[in-house]
Structure 1
Amino acid sequence: MTIYTNIPLELVFEGMNEQRNAYMDIVIGDVRMQVEPLSPGVGRIVRLVECPLDAYLRPELSPGNVIALGPAVIK
């Protein structure tokens, strides 16, 4: 991999070796998504895994949004 940048490498690779929380797969309706748990019952959408095409246009399902997690939707 070659990186051409004028930013110091310490900033480019900052946090690269840090451990991240494990992602969870959840299903809400007909949308299966990958979520990063933030606290009990709350998670941030990482990506949509399996869903109808129109789900990508729904702003509430965009990556980075924080959603409530219930015990019935966790898989």
Structure 2
Amino acid sequence: MTIYTCMPLELVFDGFNEQPGPYLDITVGEIRMQIEPLSPGIGKIVRLMDCPLDAYLRPELFPGSIIAYHTAT
């Protein structure tokens, strides 16, 4: 990989080796998804893992969308 930039490499590669997450796998109805918790009961969709094909076309389920969820206790 070749990178041509006038920026310092420290800025370009900042956070490159950090792991994302923590992620939760939740099921809402018939849709299993991976979310990044933002606060208790609120999360950002990372990806859909198991769902009907038409769920990928629903705008409220796009990656990056904010959803409310609850965990079973």
Counterpart CA distance in 1 for 2:57 and 2:6 is 34
Q: Unpaired runs of 5+ in structure 1?
A: none
Amino acid across the alignment from 2:67: I
Amino acid across the alignment from 1:31: I
Q: Unpaired runs of 5+ in structure 2?
A: none
Aligned residue pairs total 71
CA apart distance, 1:29: 1.0
**Residue number in structure 1 paired with 2:25:** 25
* Residue 51, structure 1, aligned to residue 42, structure 2: no
Query: What is the SS of the residue equivalent to 2:54?
Result: helix
* Residue 3, structure 1, aligned to residue 2, structure 2: yes
Deviations 1:15-72 (A, max 9, x none): 2244544100000111110000011111000001111111110000000011101124
TM-score, scaled relative to structure 2: 0.81
Counterpart CA distance in 1 for 2:6 and 2:64 is 25
CA 1:47/1:3 → structure 2, altered by over 3 Å: closer, same or farther?
farther
Q: Which runs of 4+ in 1 moved over 6 A?
A: none
CA 1:7/1:35 → structure 2, altered by over 3 Å: closer, same or farther?
farther
Counterpart CA distance in 1 for 2:56 and 2:22 is 23
Counterpart CA distance in 2 for 1:45 and 1:11 is 27
